[in-house]
Amino acid sequence: MRNRLLPVFDRLLKHHGPQDWWPGDTPFEVMVGAVLTQNTSWTNVEKGIINLKHHRLLAPESICTSSHAALAGHLKPVGYFNVKALRLRNFCRWYLEQGGYGRLSRWPTAALRRALLSVSGIGRETADDILLYAFNRDVFVIDAYTRRIFSRLGLIVGDEDYDDLRRHFEDGIKRERGARCPVGQRGERRARASIYNEFHALIVHHAKDFCRTRPRCGQCCLSSHCPSAAE
C-alpha cells in the first residue's frame, strides 16, 4: 500500500493542468462560497454571490445586519435559500465575534477547525473547505467526488467515516512525500497545503468533466489506475 495517491495527483495535474482554486476574490468570498455550495452546483452559487455583490452584501457586517427576507431573496437561485441565509448569518456572527480574519488566522488548525464546527450550518467538509482555501491550512477535503473517484480506483470503499478518510489521505500523502518531520518543520505544512489545494481542485474538475459522462472511467486519464477500466 505505497505510493498510490500522489501518482493519481500527478496524472490529474498533467492531464488537466493547475486549477488555481478556490474561485473567489477574497478569503471571505471563499468562505461564503463554501457554505453556499453545500449539495449545490457551483453555477447556482455564482448567481447568488453575484446578487450579494450587487447589493453590497458580500461582507460579514452587512450580512449580519440585513433582514432574513432580503438575504434569502438574494440567495434564491442558490437553492435551500432559507437554510443558507440562516447558516450564512450564523457563520458571519461567529466570524465577527472572533475578530475577523486577522484574529482567526492566528489560531492553530485543530482549534480553528473545532470552532468552525461549533457553528450551526458548518459541517466537516465546509469547515475543511474554509481551512484549506481561505486559511491555507494543511487539511485534505473529502467530498462526494473524492469518494466516487477513489472508490472506482479501488483505493477506498467509499462509505468510510469522513474524518477517517481525511486522515487516510493526509497520512498517505505525507508518507508518500517522504516527509518524516513530526510537526512544524519549516515549509512542509505549507507545501502539503499546496498539494491538498491542487489535488481537491483537480478531483472536482475531473469529476465534473469526465465521471458523469463516463461512469466507468475507462477512457479517462486515470484509466491505467482503474481496475474497472478492464471491463
Residues at the contact surface with DNA, assessed by CB under 7 A? 21-23, 33-34, 37-44, 47, 76-84, 119-127, 129, 133, 143-145, 161, 204, 207-208
**Identity of the residue, 3 or 41, whose beta carbon is nearer to DNA in the bound complex:** 41
- Residue 51 C-beta: closest distance to DNA, Å: 10
CB of residue 4 to DNA, shortest distance in Å? 23
3-state secondary structure of 111: helix
96: its cell numbers: 465577527
Question: Shortest approach of DNA to residue 197 CB, angstroms?
Answer: 10
> Smaller CB distance to DNA: residue 173 or 204?
204
Residues with Cβ within 8 Å of 68's Cβ and at least 6 positions away in sequence, in order, are 85, 86, 89
Taking the least distance from each CB to DNA, the nearer of 37 and 66 is 37
How does DSSP assign 114-172, residue by residue? HHHHTSTT--HHHHHHHHHHTT--S-----HHHHHHHHHTTS--S-S-HHHHHHHHHHH
Cβ of residue 160: shortest distance to DNA, in angstroms? 10
Instruction: Measure the CA–CA gap between 163 and 165, rounded to whole angstroms.
Output: 5
Residue closer to DNA, measured from CB, 168 or 175: 168
